[in-house]
């Protein structure tokens, strides 16, 4: 769904930031203005980004094929009560309740 962030894109962006922090750290090391405070700050940023990556990698991404699940339900005896309802309407209904469940999990 479009309102969610792609996990791979997020991880790639954080890794890019982490690489930039590490490159700045290496190049600043030989620079006369590279103070101990700057190095500590870069270390802190690097550790925070690595911690964030570690957390993101613990998140489970579940793929749901809503069309497949709708087909599976539609071909059961339970769906016979709805044989006069268009398949597309059932699919829209399934989508609505799927999104409602996601919102409920998030506490919305």
- CA 70 – CA 65 distance, rounded (Å): 9
pTM of the predicted model, to two decimals?
A: 0.47
Assess whether pLDDT exceeds 50 at residue 1.
no
Evaluate if residue 24 carries a pLDDT over 50.
yes
CB distance 18 to 53 below 8 Å: yes
42 touches 28 (CB < 8 A) = yes
How far from the centroid of its chain's Cα atoms is residue 44's Cα? 24
Q: Is the pLDDT of residue 82 over 50?
A: yes
């Amino acid at each position: 769904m479009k309102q969610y962030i792609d996990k791979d894109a997020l991880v790639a962006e954080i890794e890019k930031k982490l690489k930039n922090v590490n490159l700045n750290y290496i190049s600043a090391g030989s620079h006369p203005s590279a103070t101990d405070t700057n190095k500590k700050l870069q270390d802190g940023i690097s550790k925070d980004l690595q911690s964030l990556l570690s957390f993101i990698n613990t998140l489970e991404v579940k793929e749901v094929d809503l069309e497949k699940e709708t087909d599976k339900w539609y071909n059961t005896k339970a769906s016979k009560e709805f044989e006069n309802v268009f398949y597309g309407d059932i699919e829209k209904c399934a989508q609505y309740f799927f999104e409602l469940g996601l919102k409920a999990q998030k506490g919305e």
